[in-house]
């Protein structure tokens, strides 16, 4: 009964959300990036959505980690380090490739609530966190590729949710279009040289859909088909890199290398190759996945109760 009620409420909420998005895309409703102002403190939709994506991804990742016999204490530690390094690297990546601007606006470097978190930087930060944690936190008994699998299997879900922060900021959109799903962009948020156009490709939506599909594929794979640590990591890098390469070609706000090559496309090619190497290597040399027995899970539950 509870599941039925939850399903009905979810469907109704999605219908209302879809209607709201349609009105925004048509330009009948204009968004305010700021959700709430309390004194001098501004709470932005962007930050709220990023945080929501992280929390939801963590809740799912925690269950997957428990399934593999990992103590919740170590999960919390790893996630804490991963989020911090992920956000720092995501911001540093973005600032580094837009240094011409930030070198003249140093005070804005830390204003992440205005946007400017590059997912490729976040991926690098997350993998770095997994490496450091598994190397120096031996008691956790976590293997590096096991840790990256658990991080990456829920990453696209966090991405899918976080991309809607771009929606509320009127950013990460593509070239002008007249397609039925075109999105209205107010003059204030239009890229230089495009002020006469009103409707653009909602590339944030394309990537949110891509990330959702990747998450569904990966969660199915980890529950039913995964045999070696590293499979999830390799598959994600391959699928996301292909999708991001194609979507990036539509965007107007791409970061560039030497004003010639789109940074995200170059990085996507590198990560695609890395994903193929990881997938083949783990298939041949990887360690088999260990799923905790019911007895092991009971011991973990008792241990957590006694803490």
The answer to whether position 12 is within a domain reads: no
Q: Which of 9-23, 91-105, 125-139 is the least confident region?
A: 91-105
- The reply to whether 19 falls in a domain is no
Full residue range of the structural domain in which residue 288 is found: 25-305
**For residue 8, what pLDDT is reported?**
87
| Contacts of 129-132 spanning 24+ positions with Cβ under 8 A | 129/78, 129/81, 129/82, 129/84, 129/85, 129/86, 130/78, 130/82, 132/81, 132/85
Rg from Cα positions in the chain: 21
Q: What mean pLDDT value characterizes the chain? A: 91
Whether residue 15 lies inside any domain: the answer is: no
In this prediction, residue 299 has a pLDDT band, given cuts at 50, 70 and 90, of confident
Which band of pLDDT confidence, cut at 50, 70 and 90, is reported for residue 6?
A: confident
Mean pLDDT calculated for residue range 274-298: 89
**Chain centroid, CA 44 distance in Å:** 18
- Split into its structural domains, the chain has a count of 1
- Whether the pLDDT of residue 307 is over 80: the answer is no
Tokens of 254: 């791409």
Rounded Cα–Cα distance for residues 68 and 21 (Å):
39
Reply yes or no on whether the pLDDT at 140 is more than 90: no
Q: What does pTM read for this prediction?
A: 0.91
In a domain, residue 91? The reply is yes
Residue 286 confidence (pLDDT) above 90: no
How many other C-beta atoms can be found within 10 angstroms of the C-beta atom of residue 288? 9
Whether residue 149 is contained in a domain is answered as yes
Q: Would you say residue 104 lies in a domain?
A: yes
Question: Among 292, 159, 150, which residue's Cα sits nearest to residue 230?
Answer: 150
β-strand pairing of 41-44 with 34-38: antiparallel
| 230 within some domain | yes
Kindly state whether residue 111 falls inside one of the protein's structural domains.
Answer: yes
| pLDDT tens, position by position, 228-238 | 999 999 999 99
């Amino acid at each position: 009964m509870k599941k039925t009620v939850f399903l009905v409420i979810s469907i109704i909420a999605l219908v209302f959300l879809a209607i709201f998005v349609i009105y925004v895309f048509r330009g009948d409703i204009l968004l305010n990036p700021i959700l709430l102002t309390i004194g001098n403190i501004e709470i932005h939709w962007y930050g709220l959505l990023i945080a929501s994506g992280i929390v939801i991804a963590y809740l799912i990742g925690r269950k997957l980690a428990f399934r593999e016999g990992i103590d919740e204490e170590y999960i919390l530690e790893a996630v804490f380090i991963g989020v911090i390094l992920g956000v720092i690297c995501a911001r540093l990546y973005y600032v580094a490739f837009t240094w011409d601007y930030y070198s003249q606006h140093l005070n804005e470097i830390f204003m992440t609530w205005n946007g400017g978190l590059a997912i490729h930087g976040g991926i690098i930060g997350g993998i770095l966190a997994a490496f450091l944690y598994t190397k120096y936190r031996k008691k956790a008994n976590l293997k590096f590729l096991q840790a990256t699998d658990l991080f990456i299997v829920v990453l696209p879900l966090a991405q899918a949710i976080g991309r809607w922060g771009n929606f509320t900021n009127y950013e990460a959109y593509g070239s002008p279009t007249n397609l039925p799903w075109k999105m209205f962009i107010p003059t204030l948020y239009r890229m230089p040289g495009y002020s006469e156009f009103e409707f653009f490709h909602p590339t944030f939506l394309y990537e949110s859909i891509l990330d959702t599909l990747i998450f569904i594929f990966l969660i199915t794979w980890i529950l039913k088909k995964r045999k070696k640590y590293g499979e999830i990591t390799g598959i994600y890098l391959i699928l996301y890199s292909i999708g991001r390469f194609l979507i990036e070609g539509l965007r107007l706000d791409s970061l560039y290398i030497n004003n010639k090559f789109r940074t995200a496309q170059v990085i996507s090619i590198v990560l695609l190759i890395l994903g193929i190497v990881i997938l083949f290597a783990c298939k041949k040399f990887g360690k088999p996945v260990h799923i905790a027995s019911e007895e092991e899970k009971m011991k973990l539950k008792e241990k957590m109760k006694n803490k």
